[in-house]
Amino acid sequence: CKPWSQELLNDFLSDLYGGAKDISKPLFRFHLIDNMADGSSVMILNVDHAVGDGISMIGLLMSLYDEGKVVVPRAPCAKRPAKPSVFQKLHGLVHGAVMALAMP
């Protein structure tokens, strides 16, 4: 197999990241090129932004390369309201039905 030059790698990356995404393919793909002209290897991880945002992807990449425990700081986010329980939903349904029947 012919060794990859830096120019060939650049062309491959341009094709990989340029243009429209093919949604019939997985949202993440690995490419391994283990025959670079200088004897090195290249691993390319192509991940669509729908899989994760920048912070979560940094954590993923750090976990791939770091043998220690990775702690990724999380951005503060607004507290989501708690989902109503089944009983709260049932109460709301019964209350709404009673109110509807009580209307003249």
Q: What is the DSSP string of 36-64?
A: BTTS--EEEEEE-TTT--HHHHHHHHHHH
Instruction: Identify the pLDDT of residue 28.
Output: 82
Report the sign of the C-alpha dihedral through residues 96, 79, 52, 20, in that order: positive
pTM attached to this predicted model: 0.52
Mean per-residue pLDDT, 24-42: 88
Mean per-residue pLDDT, 58-85: 65
Could you count the other beta carbons within 10 Å of the beta carbon of residue 4? Answer: 19
Please, which pLDDT band fits residue 8 given cuts at 50, 70 and 90? Answer: very high
CB 9 within 8 A of CB 36: yes
Residue 6 pLDDT > 90: yes
